[in-house]
């Protein structure tokens, strides 16, 4: 039930959902937000592709079949498979083998699948079709990122006169504005609505920008922090779409992600051996020793820096690599876990080789190790160039591992810089996206570590006392849904 006592039917569209399949933070949100909506009494369905990797691994059954473009030469028959998240939220996985029976979800060998435009246009279009097949008339269609961003356009153009969707309004959440999904629309002929969009969404004659389309047609738009929402309206932070965001400024807001404390709480975390909370923080040091031993670093009282991230430009890897040799001259240890750009992976491997006993690089995707780094490190590095919200700095706060972040997007909305606010500080912030500024910030933290351990414990307690609950974030989504519901059908 929302603040106004309404129970809403929510169709939640996402390309990945944690627990079923995850490559990044979108999956965390697509698991946790629907769970909280359900806990608040709403009637929620998640719709996602039935990737072959999950089809065989989770109990599921076919609960319906549908056809896009029945009777035409582009007819596509698909099945709706039902499964549930660990929180009991019903998931509809759209089974269309030609698109989803692949080894990965977006691409292989760091190369996106050539037909991703088709694959995700299908998801957006078939999700709405599936709602009709299963007679689930949603109040809100909640889209996430470019993968599902054309659904609001299909709602308007295809279903504008359809009584079934009469009360349906749409919300688009942007988790990453840099990925926009631009595809040749001649490749996506089975979504004919794509040929009726305004020219503004078309690039080079025939390319349609999915995210632009969502920003134009969605009733309400949000991103995952107020900071990033305002950056999107600027030419520096808008990823080339500043004007589009400016045009929708009245309908654009930022809602900081919650943290799933069921998964990320050092008091109960099953992935760590030594558990602790804010009152037993002295135990955290044992987790550090275990991590040092596990990754082959000397056990002891040496400042340990951790980082877990997709290795991309976004995450600031490009400003970190040039300063690592200098930073590692100090008496420090560093563990970096990440996969992504092969060039970054190669450079990280080489730097780690040059600094044995000081730096370890794990080019893997390993959830357990990620938890152990969050728990065992003293500091957590997140020098992002842009960051819509960021989850890892929020997890770090929960584990009393002080985040070192750039003052951008959701990072500056969630971390309080110790040097600007001694009393309430929870971490360290630097501003300029340059290697030099990052290095001087790292040196700042090093002095802090060696100068006053009592003060460090106090700041760790500040960090652990921060709370980013899904209860709070969900209330804001409910208010957003209520605002979307107020929108006239044709505004």
Ligand X SMILES: Nc1ncnc2c1ncn2[C@@H]1O[C@H](COP(=O)(O)OP(=O)(O)O[C@H]2O[C@H](CO)[C@@H](O)[C@H](O)[C@H]2O)[C@@H](O)[C@H]1O
Residues 6+ apart with CB under 8 A from 155: 128, 141, 165, 168, 170, 217
10 binding ligand X? (CB under 6 A): no
Structure tokens at 435: 């290697």
**Which region, judged by CB under 6 A, interacts with ligand X, from 164-172, 198-206, 304-312, 442-450?**
304-312
User: Which 249-288 residues touch ligand X, going by CB under 6 A?
Assistant: 257
Question: Is the Cβ of residue 318 or residue 390 nearer to ligand X in the bound state?
Answer: 390
For residue 369, give the nearest of 267, 259, 272 by alpha carbon.
272
Coil/strand/helix, residue 273: coil
Cα 437 off chain centre by = 26
- Smallest distance, ligand X to C-beta of residue 51, A: 17
483 binding ligand X? (CB under 6 A): no
Q: Which position has the token pair 């929180």?
A: 87
Among 292, 347, 392, 426, binds ligand X (CB under 6 A): 392
Q: Which residues participate in the annotated binding site for ADP-alpha-D-glucose?
A: 22
Question: Is the Cβ of residue 175 or residue 460 nearer to ligand X in the bound state?
Answer: 175
226 binding ligand X? (CB under 6 A): no
Q: Which position has the token pair 């390309």?
A: 15
Residues 6+ apart with CB under 8 A from 394: 257, 259, 264, 414, 468
**Which region, judged by CB under 6 A, interacts with ligand X, from 21-29, 266-274, 289-297, 475-483?**
21-29
Apex CA 74: angle with CA 69 and CA 80, to 5°?
55
User: Which 345-384 residues touch ligand X, going by CB under 6 A?
Assistant: 365-367, 370
308 binding ligand X? (CB under 6 A): yes
- Smallest distance, ligand X to C-beta of residue 15, A: 12
149 binding ligand X? (CB under 6 A): no
390 binding ligand X? (CB under 6 A): yes
Coil/strand/helix, residue 140: strand
Among 15, 176, 292, 462, binds ligand X (CB under 6 A): 176
Contact map string, positions 28 to 57, toward ligand X, x by CB under 6 A: xx----------------------------
Q: Which residues of 28-130 form beta strands (DSSP E)?
A: 43-49, 61-68, 76-84, 90-95, 107-108, 111-112
Residues 6+ apart with CB under 8 A from 486: none
Question: Is the Cβ of residue 92 or residue 399 nearer to ligand X in the bound state?
Answer: 399
13 binding ligand X? (CB under 6 A): no
Among 239, 310, 458, 461, binds ligand X (CB under 6 A): 310
Question: Is the Cβ of residue 367 or residue 465 nearer to ligand X in the bound state?
Answer: 367
Among 81, 119, 156, 175, binds ligand X (CB under 6 A): 175
For residue 50, give the nearest of 99, 103, 88 by alpha carbon.
99
**Which region, judged by CB under 6 A, interacts with ligand X, from 77-85, 275-283, 289-297, 333-341?**
333-341
From CA 38, how far away is CA 87, in angstroms rounded?
9
Residues 6+ apart with CB under 8 A from 252: 221, 222, 223, 229, 232, 233, 245
Q: Is the Cα torsion angle 341, 409, 19, 274 positive or negative in sign?
A: positive
- Smallest distance, ligand X to C-beta of residue 217, A: 21
For residue 307, give the nearest of 296, 316, 294 by alpha carbon.
316
- Given the rule CB under 6 A, which residues bind ligand X? 24-26, 28-29, 175-176, 224, 257, 308-310, 337-339, 365-367, 370, 387-392, 410
């Amino acid at each position: 039930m929302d603040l106004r006592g309404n129970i809403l039917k929510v169709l939640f569209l996402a390309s990945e959902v944690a627990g079923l399949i995850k490559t990044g933070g979108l999956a965390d949100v697509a698991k946790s937000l629907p769970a909280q909506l359900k806990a608040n009494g709403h009637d929620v369905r998640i719709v996602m592709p039935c990737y072959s990797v999950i089809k065989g691994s989770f109990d599921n059954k076919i609960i319906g079949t549908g056809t896009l473009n029945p009777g035409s030469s582009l007819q596509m028959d698909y099945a709706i498979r039902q499964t549930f998240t660990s929180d009991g939220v019903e998931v509809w996985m759209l089974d269309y083998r030609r698109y989803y029976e692949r080894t990965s979800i977006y691409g292989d060998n760091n190369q996106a699948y050539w037909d991703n435009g088709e694959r995700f246009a299908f998801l957006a279009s078939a999700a709405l079709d599936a709602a009709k097949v299963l007679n689930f008339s949603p109040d809100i269609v909640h889209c996430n990122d470019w993968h599902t961003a054309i659904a609001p356009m299909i709602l308007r153009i295809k279903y504008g006169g359809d009584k079934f969707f009469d009360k349906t309004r749409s919300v688009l959440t942007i988790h990453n504005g840099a990925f926009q999904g631009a595809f040749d629309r001649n490749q996506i002929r089975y979504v004919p609505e794509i040929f009726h969009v305004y020219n503004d969404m078309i690039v080079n004659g025939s390319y349609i920008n999915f995210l632009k389309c969502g920003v134009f047609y969605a009733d309400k738009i949000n991103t995952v922090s107020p900071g990033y929402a305002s950056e999107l309206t600027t030419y520096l932070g808008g990823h080339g779409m500043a004007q589009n965001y400016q045009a929708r400024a009245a309908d654009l807001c930022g809602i900081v992600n919650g943290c799933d404390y069921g998964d990320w709480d050092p008091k109960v975390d099953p992935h760590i051996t030594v558990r602790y909370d804010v009152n037993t923080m002295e135990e955290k040091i044992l987790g550090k020793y275990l991590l040092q031993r596990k990754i082959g670093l000397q056990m002891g009282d040496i400042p340990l820096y951790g980082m877990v991230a997709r290795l991309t430009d976004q995450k600031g890897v490009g400003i970190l690599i040039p300063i690592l040799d200098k930073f590692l001259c100090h008496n420090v240890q560093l563990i970096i876990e990440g996969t992504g750009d092969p060039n970054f992976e190669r450079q990280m491997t080489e730097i780690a080789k040059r600094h044995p006993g000081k730096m370890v690089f794990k080019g893997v995707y390993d959830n357990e190790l990620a938890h152990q780094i969050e728990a065992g490190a003293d500091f957590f590095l997140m020098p992002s160039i842009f960051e819509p919200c960021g989850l890892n700095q929020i997890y770090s706060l929960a584990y009393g591992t002080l985040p070192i972040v750039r003052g951008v997007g959701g990072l500056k909305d969630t971390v309080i810089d110790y040097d600007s606010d001694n009393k309430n500080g929870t971490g360290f912030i630097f501003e300029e996206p340059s290697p030099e500024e990052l290095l001087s910030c790292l040196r700042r933290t090093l002095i802090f570590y060696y100068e006053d351990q009592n003060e460090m414990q106090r700041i760790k307690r500040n960090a652990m006392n921060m709370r980013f609950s899904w209860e709070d974030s969900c209330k804001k989504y409910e208010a957003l849904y209520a605002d979307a519901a107020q929108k006239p059908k044709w505004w």
